Amino acid sequence: MSYSKAEGVLLCGETYPYKEAIKRVREPFRFQFSRRLPKGCAWYVRGSRGKAVSRAELDRLAEALVAEGVPVVTIFDGPPVRAGAVPASKAGRRPDNAKRAAKLRGIADKAEAAAEKELGAERVENTARRASMAANIRERAEFDRVLARTIRRAADAVEAGELEYVSRLSSKAQVEALDLALRRGMWERARKEGRSIDYRFEQPTLEDIQYVKLSRPWARKRELEELAQAAHRLHGLGEERRQVLAAAMRGSAEQGLELSDAEMAAVLKLARAVRKADGRELPWSSKDLLERIREFGRFVNLGVTTTEQLQAAAREYVGCCRGKEEARREDPLAAKKRELRFAKIPGYFPTPLELGERMVELAAIRPGMRVLEPSAGSGAIAEVIRRRHPRAVLEVIERQVSLREILRGEGFELVGDDFTSFEAATPYDRIVMNPPFEKRQDVEHIERALTLLAPGGRLVAIAAGGLEQRSDRKSRALVEKLGKLGASFETLPSGTFAESGTQVQTVLIVAAKPGERKKERAMAKKSKSKAHPKWRIAALKDAWKAHTKRVGDPSRVDWKNIPKTSCFVRESGDASVTLCPAIQKHAVGACPPIDRAGKQFMLCQVDEELEFFPARNEGVLDASAEATNRLVRGRKAAAPTAPLPDPAGDDLEGLERVLDQLAPTRIVYTKSMPLAPLYVKASPPNVVRPNGSEVSILGWPGEISADETLRPMVSAGGRMPLVEFRDRLVSGELTVYLGNVSPRTVSALLEHIPGHRRAALGKAGLTMHDVQYGRFAGRSVYWLHDHEAQETYGPVLASGKLVKSRAILNQFASAAKLELPLPDLPKGMSLDDSVLVAMLLKGRRVWSAWHRPTQAVYFKAEGEEWTNRGSMPLRGKWRTKGGFPDFQHRMAMTLLEQLPNMPRTVTPRVAGAWLGVLFPSDFGKKVTFEPPTNATLDVETTEEQAREYTALAFENPDDNVLPIWVELAPKRIKWARAWVRKQERVRKKAEKAEKEEKMAAKTKKKTATKKASAKKSATKKGTAQKATAKKPATKKASTKKVATKKATAKKASTKKAATKKAATKKAATKKAATKKAATKKSATKKSATKKATAKKATTKKSATKKKAAAKKASTKRSSAKSSSKAKAPTLTNKDLRAWKSRLRRRDVVRFRKNSRIATGLGVSPSREFVVLRVQTLGDQTFAVLDLGLTDPAAAPAIPVGHLVLVKRPEAMPEDIRNCAARLAKLGGPISEATQQIMAELARRY
């Protein structure tokens, strides 16, 4: 190991075998490996080149290497350092170490005695202020006790005289100065390494020493001028005043300058003279200057004049004096902050953490940027900037002295105390501020901030609400200037600063300053350059104004009147809603005919229940808001399409199409603030110069040249390029809201949640997607439930008004038990071959899925996507470390462990092919098991597993988990056997039903055969009767014919008149005979037809009687029909369809596709169920479905509006119906066999 000032500390030779040992050495230095060292060397001490390292330090480093087993030889090529050396200014004094040690011990004793006295004193703490004061006193006393021990150890080191710098300690202030230097080194190290620290819990270490620096006292011009003015005309101080004023002339307004020894002496002399003078007061600004000089003087008294000497002194202080114990105390800075809560400082209202995080996020700070917080207060915003962007150069300004002390104690760099007169040497890249609002100070501060902003910089500021509507000249000028910069104004929710003690309305402003404008010469040159051939700035501005008017016209009406009606329709894609008065004679749109008393509106949608609103302005607003929500729920997910390319800078319509694809709802939220909606809209494009700076077209001077381009911009909580917006969506920094509740309703609901609770809910994992909706007492309401705190925010109506109806609130409270939804499984998985478990973990809804074929395990948290967690078998062998490495035991144990931590209103759910994987008996009624999709359960395997548990428990008596499985095993066996028995009963019942169905079909077939044979015989009999009826008619006709012929022969000799009369008589006789024969034939045919169709017809009626009876019955039916028609109106087609589609027992139904109940139950709309019974409650009808539950009596009642009829049950055959009717008419006792038959008929039909 060698040291020289030119090369530093190097470690050379065969170091490879000892590389791990070398890495373990950390004190007094730490080696780092490098391939760029001189030949033969591989390790070096960072920061040792060009700096002085003492021989003692090198020897300590060699001892540390030898202790780790590294053989080392030391070569020291540096100046000898004598222990106890002092600076030249004090070389003539010989230090008295014993006297110094005694002084330090006296200081330690005094500090410890005072601390004990303070800790033992009794104090009244009946108010917050007194309690805070008492806590501060106790913490300070505890700190003094620890400091007293540190001073005693320093006294021992001083008395020994072995250390170079610590041996000169002579006061408590010097010890505190060394401790403060160490803390500053710790902060500087954390800043350079890009990490955040908590000064309240982290303590400096040896690694922080190399970041400790000694800076000479510096002063600002104003501080020196005010001190010289305060010492004006004081006797004998003319030379000192001239020195101080000369130093002030060398400095600038706010840029500090280092003071020489003579100037420091002059400052101290002037300050002492001003304090001693009567009627004079030392300026406030001079107190900070004197404190810096005194701190430097304490180090000088220790012999420390360079940074290397300060680091050596700090190393000695840590090694000998600073003990590892720390005082059990509240941090002083935190105590001061607590006091500020009760202090009344004008204009001081701390920025809430949630808002500070968002402001810093909108600022888009990058490493190396100069950032200013001009109204720092207690450092709320500055702390967020330092934590999230440690590599940025942060400067703060604060006027109040108490707040400045806090900022200084936290290590912030104060560069001024009055922002309105502050002058910066160089402008700032970012300014983040929350200025005071009194007397329009916010306008003044924002104006000042714009002047200090560098070209291309960004300003994020809070202003009083209504800034854009103010009428005073300064406010109008500021708003006009911000408008030219393309600034965005976002009204913050009311109560944002409630936790800070005010309800003032505020607005968040984000403005980007354009790049630096060229000077007049450059502008003249630019004016001569060739203009852009396509873009004209006036045309671009006019196009932007027209686009804004077309897209953002507030008077645009979405409702369209339905011609010749008083109804309106609103459409969005495939979904539509209709708004009508509640008095309609005919169906209009989706609204049915109705006559409802009172002046009301009704909102109608297909497959949705009617919702009524009062016919007032607020009713119309509520109906319109609810219509928006229904259209949001009715939208269909757009099919994935190829991403659209970025449009040209002047293509505003193309920009709108891209935004519609990226954010269809035009609402996004950030990862850090998931309950703060950000509205996405197009912003005026920026003109980009060749040097990279850009300005909005609204603030662009002159025309656009040919070498300048346009960049499309987007507003989403702040203006940003379209490319940046797309990247933030891809990285997950921004998330698009795609929930089933409209953004307006979500925003209105979030308005009712305090700001601090909203931040806590966001940290707990809740997002805008967790807003729920439901229907209670005929109205749709919306709410947000915090599972962790067991608190529900809302319910509210769609318009955002809190629900006050007692009926709605009662129903909402009765339905407070919430169910965990079942999401869609990963691609390639279904509930038929997977197990899905939903539970609540640390207040967040999470889901686990296990795929049987591949044994893959997936996990999904609320608001995230499915992630593959590897594979896990169903059952595995038990291990001594870790237990059973399988899904069955791991998931069961997870549920058992999380059940006590879950709220009572939330029940975990298990769905899919869980049979044989999880057992309901393990959890009682605390876990909901959906009907399994697999139907195989091996009881023998369960019994074998129980025996395995028992054997393992005997072999490993010290294991704490095996007794749990041993205890659960008998319950599993009992449940498995009961399940198998139940399935056997169901199987037998199904077989029996199938057998009876076959018998019924066979009987039906026989009956049909008998009917056919009877019909056939009846037909034959009718034919025979017809033939029989024909013979007598023919014989009678022939006899009459013969008689007629004889009469004609006898009267042949009579006159022609007699012959004519006889002929006429003959014709009449023949016609009557023919008519009689025809009548008899018709009667025979009707009798045969009746005999064939009747079952047991025993008597015949004449055709005349039957005709009369039929005529009488027809007359009676027509009279009854006419009377009925007079009493009740005829059923319409719609009534007939409703009557035919009404549900009955044993009907097969399914849920509608958009049913909220099906979504809540996790049931697929294609799955079919059997109706167990239909019941009516009030004016609503419910159907109890067979969901496969263990207890059918516990099956839920589903409103029939959510169900669709699939098919009716098989009707009772005609012969069985007749048989049952005959049995019902029989009197006397009924046998047991007959009772069983009737019971079976009742069950089946």
What's residue 747's pLDDT? 84
> pLDDT at position 849, please?
93
Check whether 1100 has a pLDDT greater than 60. Answer: no
Burial (0-12, 13-18, 19+ Cβ within 10 Å), 540: buried
Closest CA to 874 of 859, 898, 855: 855
Q: Is the pLDDT of residue 1039 over 60?
A: no
Please report the pLDDT score of residue 1087 as a whole number.
47
- C-alpha distances out from residue 848 to 835, 856, 857, 860, 927, Å: 8, 11, 7, 6, 15
State the CB neighbour count (10 A cutoff) for residue 581.
17
Of 343-347, 361-365, 395-399, 1228-1232, the poorest mean pLDDT is in 343-347
**Averaged pLDDT, 187-204:** 72
Band of the pLDDT at 1077, cuts 50, 70, 90?
low
Distance CA 561, CA 567 (A): 6
Q: Which amino acid makes up residue 532?
A: H
- Tell me how far apart the alpha carbons of residues 1221 and 1232 are, in angstroms, rounded to a whole number: 18
Using CA atoms, how far apart are residues 300 and 89, in angstroms rounded to an integer? 10
The tens digit of pLDDT for each residue in 500-527 reads 777 788 889 999 887 644 333 443 344 4
* Sequence-distant contacts of 1137-1142: CB under 8 A, at least 24 apart: 1141/1205, 1142/1200
Q: Which of 69-73, 632-636, 928-932, 1131-1135 has the lowest mean pLDDT?
A: 1131-1135
- List of residues 6+ apart from 408 with CB closer than 8 A: 414
Return the pLDDT at 1063: 54
Q: What is the pLDDT of residue 1056?
A: 54
pLDDT band at 486 (very low <50, low <70, confident <90, very high): confident
Largest CA distance in the chain: 199
- Which amino acid, residue 552? G
Report which DSSP code applies to 1202. Answer: G
Check residue 848 and give its pLDDT: 92
Does 823 have pLDDT greater than 80? yes
Reply yes or no on whether the pLDDT at 1040 is more than 90.
no
Q: Summarize pLDDT for 883-934 with one digit per residue, the tens.
A: 888 998 989 988 888 888 776 667 888 999 998 889 999 988 888 888 898 7
Digit-coded pLDDT (tens) for 683-713 = 888 888 777 777 778 766 667 777 788 888 8
Mean pLDDT, range 252-276, rounded to an integer: 81
Which of the four pLDDT bands, split at 50, 70 and 90, describes residue 371? very high
Q: Is the pLDDT of residue 857 over 90?
A: yes
Give the model's pLDDT for residue 987. Answer: 85
Where residue 632 falls among pLDDT bands split at 50, 70, 90? confident
Does residue 300 surpass a pLDDT of 50? yes
Which of 81-95, 319-333, 823-837 shows the lowest mean pLDDT across its residues?
81-95
Q: Sorting pLDDT into bands at 50, 70 and 90, what band is 84?
A: very low
Structure tokens at 99: 């006297």
Q: Which of the following CATH numbers is that of domain 344-513: 3.40.50.170, 3.30.930.10, 3.40.50.880, 3.40.50.150?
A: 3.40.50.150
Q: What is the dihedral of CA 311, 314, 315, 321, to 10 degrees?
A: 170
Cis peptide before 374 (omega within 30 of 0): no
- Per-residue pLDDT, averaged over 16-31, amounts to 82
3-state secondary structure of 967: helix
DSSP-derived letter for residue 492 is P
Which structure tokens are listed for 322? 């600073």
More confident residue, 352 or 695: 352
Question: Residue 83 — pLDDT band, cuts 50, 70, 90?
Answer: very low
Distances (CA, A) of 857 to 854, 872, 882, 1196: 9, 7, 18, 32
Mean pLDDT of the chain: 77
Position 387 confidence tier, pLDDT thresholds 50, 70, 90? confident
Compute how many other C-beta atoms are within 10 angstroms of the C-beta atom of residue 473. 8
Q: What's phi and psi for 70, nearest 5 deg?
A: -100, 115
Q: Is 598 left (phi over 0), alpha (psi -120 to 50) or beta?
A: left
β-pairing, 393-397 with 414-416?
Answer: parallel
The pLDDT value given to residue 851: 92
- Indicate whether 1110 pLDDT > 90: no
Amino acid at 928: T
> What pLDDT, on the 0 to 100 scale, is given for residue 1022?
65
Give the pLDDT confidence of 1194-1235 residue by residue, as tens digits: 677 888 888 888 888 777 777 777 787 777 666 667 777 777
Residue pair 293/262 in contact by the 8 Å Cβ criterion: no
The C-alpha atoms of residue 642 and residue 497 are separated, in whole angstroms, by: 44
Mean pLDDT of 941-963: 85
927 Cβ contact partners less than 8 Å away, ≥ 6 residues apart = 895, 899, 907, 908, 909, 910, 920
* Beta-carbon contacts of residue 107 (< 8 Å; ≥ 6 apart): 151, 171, 172
| Highest-confidence segment of 304-308, 920-924, 936-940 | 920-924
Q: According to the per-residue pLDDT averaged within each range, which of 59-63, 358-362, 500-504 is highest?
A: 358-362
Binned at pLDDT 50, 70 and 90, residue 935 comes out as low
**Does position 675 have pLDDT exceeding 80, yes or no?**
yes
> The tokens 């060397």 sit on which residue?
41
Q: Answer yes or no: is pLDDT of 1037 > 50.
A: no
Q: Which of the 8 DSSP states describes residue 881?
A: T
Phi, psi angle pair for 295, to nearest 5°: -60, -40
Distance CA 925, CA 911 (A): 15
More confident residue, 86 or 618: 618
Q: What is the pLDDT of residue 198?
A: 60
User: What pTM was estimated for this model as a whole?
Assistant: 0.35
Which carries the bigger pLDDT value, residue 1140 or residue 870? 870
What pLDDT does 257 receive?
81
| pLDDT (tens digit per residue) in 226-262 | 888 888 878 888 888 888 888 888 766 556 788 888 8
* 141-156: burial string, b at 16+ Cβ within 10 Å, e else: bbbbbbbbbbbbbbbe
Of 48-57, 173-182, 690-699, 940-949, the range with the lowest mean pLDDT is 690-699
